Structure 1
Amino acid sequence: MVGDGTDPPPELGEEEAGDQPAGSEASTPESDEFTDRDYIRSTTREYKGLAEAVARAGEEDVEQSAVAESIPGVGTSVVGFEDVTGVEEEDPEQIEQIDRARRSELALRIATGLAAVAVFFGSLYAGPLWVTLFVVILILVAVAEFYQGVRQVGFTPLAFIGLPGAAAVMYVAWNSGPSAVGGVLAAVILASGLFSVVAGRNYPLANIGVTVLGVAWAPVLASFAVPIFRSPEAWGLTTGLVVLTALNDIAAFSYGRTLGKRRMAPTLSPNKTVEGFLGATVITVLAGVVIGRFGLLEPLTMQSATALAAAISVFGPIGDLAESAVKRSIGIKDMGSSLPGHGGVLDRLDSFVFAIPTAYLVYLWFGHL
């Protein structure tokens, strides 16, 4: 059949010469049509030798290289050994510099922590007024750090109302007890609202909210420490609170770093793990049992010391998570830098702020206050 377009296609890879049957319309010089035959022939020529090239490539030694990838929150970059570790694979000098920097930072953290502990217990030994004044200073710094932190994301807290309000909370707690600080909190809300109306500030609801939160968070919760400081058994009660809270925090960090696998609150604090929480709880409760069993801190008994340890193991981490939620919402790592090597004051008081009212209630329950 000649010129009917039904001739079978040639085999792939066949030479061009003589592969067009005589009489085919597609093969005539006069025709400009691009037929199936032309398509097959052209694609065959294009990929001729592809299999051999692939085989040769598989036999060659290819040096592995870094991968360019888009990482959420980081951006597109080259990911290699030095990008992950921060140093080149064979740079012992730079590794040593990093180790020295870490040791220096650790020494600074220890020195700052020991200094703060020495000042605190020295003021506690001096008397309830002195330790209360020391805590007031810490609270005012913490509130100022919080206000500075929320300013970074566009809020405008009324610090000239919030800071005096925080001092007033501690003053009222000294004179009338923590149950009377509600009046101060109401006055802060009223003053913030009146100023926002008179001054015509933008976003009054948000700015009033962060102003009041600065007073209601650390100052109000820390005010429950005042009756503990003024107790005849202030030394034992305060030491028990501080030691168990600090021990719980340290144990959670240690167990979480060495054994932690399951994240406890991945959204709020990715570094906190279930294993760290459980290990810290066990260590803290055992410490409470030892304190009560051997009468190390009068007037704590076996029951009250164990109950205090268990309560701190629950509410201390909640205080840490609460601060983590605030910091994550405003996108900062530390609330401040007032304590060298530790960050801000509120970063170190987050667990204590929730542990203090918890200890106050435990002490009331067992008749220690």
Structure 2
Amino acid sequence: MNDKNRNLVLRVASALLLLPIVLGLLWLGGIAAILLVVFAIVMVASEFYKMAGVRASHPAAILGLVASASLAWIGASIDTRWPGALGVLVLVPLASVALYTLFPPDGDLRKAAASSGFVALMPGYAGLGLGAVVALRAMPGHAGITWTLVAIGVTWANDTGAYFAGRLFGRHKLYPLISPNKTWEGFVGGMASSVLICFLIKWIYAVEVLHFWDCVIVGVVGGVLGPLGDLSESMLKRAFGVKDSGRIMPGHGGIFDRVDALMFVAPWVFAYAHFIRTLA
């Protein structure tokens, strides 16, 4: 078995082990879903800090972790707690600059300036991106689990469809500067898979919640945002000279590697379900 196939086997085995746990906690909702997302946010922020050379024990970094994770709790009742989200997004950048001004790491002002930006990024990136999953699950009634499944499904189907379509038919490079293995054929395959999974969820589970155009619009836009999220993380990894964000998941890398697309897709699905859809 060559390295490429061995990695595929590891990816599939890890997914089969972890996916039921993730879906089970999301199905339970409430505190189970919040704790799952808090764990993911903390792991993403920690992996990013490590890649960027940010010392996790610095007061600003600790504040960034706590503030980012708090957005999962805020997402559980976003209609009433949204001022808290605004407060986090405004205060963390100010506090990170102030703390790095007072306590520059190793007395290095250049490192202090860069680190303050990296810390300030995390609440809006990991916190909002993954906090949207909690906000989706907290939607009332059957809609909560339905739209959560849509966000997870679109992300997973896009990644899987793009992988196999690119592997089988890939000829034309999508963005070789950042991800030389991605192809336009894979992009199209991923988008088609995103739309199909929405229709599958509608057919099996959510006939009354999802409509035809919901599946098309959410799937198509998600098919663009998912790869953009993946490319964005790839850009960061290339900038910092690392292959994977971590090693916690065999065949996949770190948690950041697994949820990079979801952090772009979940806010879109929430915005569509909570705001855009109600305009029709």
TM tier, shorter chain?
A: 0.7 to 0.9
Which letter maps to 1:236?
T
Pairwise mapping of residues 197-346 of structure 1 onto structure 2 (< 5 A)? 197-200=101-104, 201=107, 202-203=109-110, 204-231=112-139, 232-233=141-142, 234-292=144-202, 294=203, 296-298=205-207, 299-346=209-256
8 Å Cα contact 1:162/1:188 also seen in 2: yes
Q: Which moved more, 1:100-109 or 1:317-326?
A: 100-109
Which letter maps to 2:44?
A
Which letter maps to 1:366?
R
In the aligned structure 1, how far is the partner of 2:196 from the partner of 2:133? 24
Is 1:150 matched with 2:57?
Answer: no
8 Å Cα contact 1:240/1:297 also seen in 2: no
In the aligned structure 2, how far is the partner of 1:108 from the partner of 1:279? 22
Which protein shows a greater Rg? 1
- Segments of 5+ residues of structure 2 without an aligned counterpart are none
Query: Equivalent residue of 2:181, what SS?
Result: strand
Shift of 1:348: 0.5
In the aligned structure 2, how far is the partner of 1:256 from the partner of 1:305? 23
Q: 1:366 aligns with which of 253, 258, 277?
A: 277
8 Å Cα contact 2:37/2:72 also seen in 1: no
Which letter maps to 2:26?
L
In the aligned structure 1, how far is the partner of 2:186 from the partner of 2:31? 37
- Segments of 5+ residues of structure 1 without an aligned counterpart are 1-98
In the aligned structure 2, how far is the partner of 1:157 from the partner of 1:255? 45
Q: Over residues 334-363 of structure 1, what are the superposed CA-to-partner deviations in whole Å (9 max), with x where a residue is unaligned? A: 111121221000001011110001111221
Shift of 1:228: 1.0
Instruction: Please give the TM-score of this superposition, normalised by the length of structure 2.
Output: 0.86
Query: Equivalent residue of 1:124, what SS?
Result: helix
Shift of 1:211: 0.9
Which letter maps to 2:151?
L
8 Å Cα contact 2:37/2:134 also seen in 1: no
2:16 corresponds to: 114
Is 1:190 matched with 2:100?
Answer: no
1:353 corresponds to: 263
8 Å Cα contact 2:59/2:99 also seen in 1: no
CA gap of 1:288–1:123, structure 2 versus 1, over 3 A, is closer
Shift of 1:103: 5.9
Which letter maps to 2:45?
V
Which letter maps to 1:169?
L
1:64 corresponds to: none
In the aligned structure 2, how far is the partner of 1:147 from the partner of 1:187? 19
In the aligned structure 2, how far is the partner of 1:367 from the partner of 1:227? 16
In the aligned structure 1, how far is the partner of 2:183 from the partner of 2:43? 30
Shift of 1:194: 1.7
8 Å Cα contact 1:268/1:328 also seen in 2: yes
CA gap of 1:149–1:260, structure 2 versus 1, over 3 A, is same
8 Å Cα contact 1:291/1:302 also seen in 2: no
Which letter maps to 2:138?
R
CA gap of 1:146–1:301, structure 2 versus 1, over 3 A, is same
In the aligned structure 1, how far is the partner of 2:278 from the partner of 2:138? 15
Q: Over residues 27-64 of structure 1, what are the superposed CA-to-partner deviations in whole Å (9 max), with x where a residue is unaligned? A: xxxxxxxxxxxxxxxxxxxxxxxxxxxxxxxxxxxxxx
1:89 corresponds to: none
Which letter maps to 1:194?
A
Query: Equivalent residue of 1:149, what SS?
Result: helix
Which letter maps to 1:209?
G
In the aligned structure 2, how far is the partner of 1:274 from the partner of 1:104? 25
Instruction: Please give the TM-score of this superposition, normalised by the length of structure 1.
Output: 0.67
Shift of 1:175: 4.2
Pairwise mapping of residues 83-102 of structure 1 onto structure 2 (< 5 A)? 99=1
CA gap of 1:305–1:212, structure 2 versus 1, over 3 A, is same
Q: Over residues 159-206 of structure 1, what are the superposed CA-to-partner deviations in whole Å (9 max), with x where a residue is unaligned? A: 222111212222233344574312112221122122122224422321
Which letter maps to 2:205?
L
Shift of 1:210: 0.8
In the aligned structure 2, how far is the partner of 1:162 from the partner of 1:297? 37
In the aligned structure 1, how far is the partner of 2:131 from the partner of 2:206? 22
